[in-house]
């Protein structure tokens, strides 16, 4: 969920997670939640294109969060807003608005607060069969996640009304500043949203081809699988570094080949805190750029393709980057095990066929004050596979071969930018 809804946190972004052991604790607590509770359980995280909508001057319009969208995108101006032939919004927005305007949902929209609060919108994604961002669905879907409210703001003379922005710490400037988040989730009438989904779905099913409108979908424990973190925590990890560096860092040398659980136990303070939208630690690379410790391309280059960490950053920053890599790897692997034991009315979270790393969905979203004031996501292997998009329909190659090509491309890029040694 990007666009109007903005970035969604990972477990390591939460203030309650300050160490490797506390990251494990979060996953243990999530397992307890889904095994013992019927409330506050995660919802399926779907993957699609942002087509969030609101009510403006009594009309339903799309607002994807850009300042260019403040007045709203309608079927009348969608081609002006997206002039390039073939742009997906030229198709998806008219379909969505046709469904909503035919469904007679004013009563529901009023109950959800969209008429009284013009900065309220329904966080919505659109996915046609086989063409979503990174997850290939076998049908056409419109996903309604809930109600958000835009924060106020202005840009080049364009003014967006909304909630007053709360202050958040900016580590780059060492001061509190108004949040850079575009919006925030707000409480809403769940019965009203369910009624809206039912009415919209009745219309969507009559289209040719038909669509299905889906509201929040809770997950539950699968009857055929279990949540077992053992395989992830027992994985033996060796981080690629030069022998020269290992000779200087005996603690790292002693960890090489240890279990993921041992690596996590060694991280008593996570390498960076998240203050939306920044991390408070930036690491200079040898090619003159900066990265945060959880940088995904760097993670792939190291874990998937064996690039030495000390070929990326200076010796004094190696351990910080390694701690970030370990935390991201644990989030990926523990997340996969968590999702493997879950199912929903929309199917299993993990594909049960011959491709063990394939996901049916992007993951799950947790909205529960027990863990955080902010929603956060568990995406498992999607942390990596989601970087590569949905290539399946474009070429007759396997997903694994595409991922290999992308990993090798990332590594070649890194190596080409590193300084040459005589």
Which pTM was predicted?
A: 0.83
Check pLDDT > 70 for residue 408: no
Does pLDDT of 197 surpass 50? yes
- For the residues 396-413, what does the mean pLDDT come to? 46
Q: What would the pLDDT profile of 79-89 be if each residue is shown by its tens digit?
A: 999 999 999 99
Q: Over range 383-405, report the average pLDDT.
A: 48
Model confidence at 171: pLDDT above 70 = yes
Inform me whether the pLDDT recorded for 186 exceeds 90: yes
12 preceded by a cis bond (ω within 30 of 0): no
pLDDT: is 60 or 347 the higher one? 60
- Separation CA 405–CA 410 (nearest Å): 9
| DSSP β-bridge partners for residue 40 | none
Tell me the per-residue pLDDT of 47-57, one tens digit each, with 9 for 90 and over: 889 999 999 99
Q: Is the pLDDT of residue 135 over 70?
A: no
Q: Which residues contact 97 (CB under 8 A, 6 or more apart)?
A: 53, 60, 61, 62, 74, 75
Q: How distant is the alpha carbon of residue 322 from its chain centre?
A: 22
Q: What is the mean pLDDT of the chain?
A: 88
pLDDT in tens, 287-324: 999 999 999 999 999 999 899 999 999 999 999 999 99
pLDDT at 233: 98
Helices (H), 205-289: 230-233, 243-248, 250-255, 260-265
């Amino acid at each position: 969920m990007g666009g109007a809804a903005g970035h969604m946190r990972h477990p390591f972004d939460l203030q309650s997670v300050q160490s490797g052991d506390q990251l494990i604790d979060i996953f243990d607590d999530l397992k307890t939640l889904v095994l013992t509770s019927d409330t506050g359980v995660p919802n399926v995280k779907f993957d699609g294109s942002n087509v969030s909508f609101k009510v403006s001057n009594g009309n339903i319009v799309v607002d994807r969060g850009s300042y260019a969208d403040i007045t709203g995108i309608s079927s009348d101006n969608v081609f002006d807003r997206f002039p390039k032939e073939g742009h997906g919004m030229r198709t998806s927005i008219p379909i969505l608005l046709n469904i909503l305007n035919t469904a007679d949902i004013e009563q529901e929209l009023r109950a959800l607060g969209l008429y009284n609060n013009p900065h309220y919108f329904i966080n919505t994604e659109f996915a046609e069969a086989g063409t979503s961002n990174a997850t290939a669905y076998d049908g056409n879907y419109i996903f309604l996640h809930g109600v958000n409210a835009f924060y106020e703001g202005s840009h080049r003379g364009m003014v967006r009304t909304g909630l007053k922005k709360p202050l958040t710490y900016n580590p780059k400037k060492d001061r509190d500043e108004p949040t850079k988040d575009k919006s925030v989730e707000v409480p809403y009438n769940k019965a009203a949203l369910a009624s809206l989904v039912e009415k919209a779905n009745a219309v969507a099913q009559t289209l040719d081809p038909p669509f299905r409108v889906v509201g929040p979908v809770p997950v539950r424990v699968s009857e055929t699988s279990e949540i077992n973190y053992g395989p992830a925590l027992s994985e033996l990890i060796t981080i690629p570094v030069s022998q020269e560096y290992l000779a200087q860092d005996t603690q790292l040398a002693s960890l090489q080949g240890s279990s993921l659980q041992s690596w996590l136990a060694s991280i008593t303070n996570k390498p960076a805190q998240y203050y939306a939208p920044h991390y408070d630690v930036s690491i200079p690379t040898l090619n003159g750029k900066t990265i945060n410790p959880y940088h995904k391309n760097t993670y792939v280059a190291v874990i998937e393709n064996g690039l030495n960490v000390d070929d990326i950053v200076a010796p004094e920053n190696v351990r910080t980057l390694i701690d970030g890599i370990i935390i991201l790897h644990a989030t990926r692997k523990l997340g996969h095990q968590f999702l493997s034991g879950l199912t929903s009315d929309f199917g299993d979270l993990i594909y049960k066929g011959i491709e063990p790393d394939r996901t049916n969905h992007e993951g799950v979203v947790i909205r529960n004050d027990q863990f955080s004031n902010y929603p956060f996501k568990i995406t498992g292997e999607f942390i990596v596979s989601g970087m590569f998009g949905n290539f399946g329909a474009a070429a007759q190659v396997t997903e694994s071969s595409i991922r290999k090509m992308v990993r090798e491309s990332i590594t070649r890029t890194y190596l080409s930018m590193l300084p040459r040694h005589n």
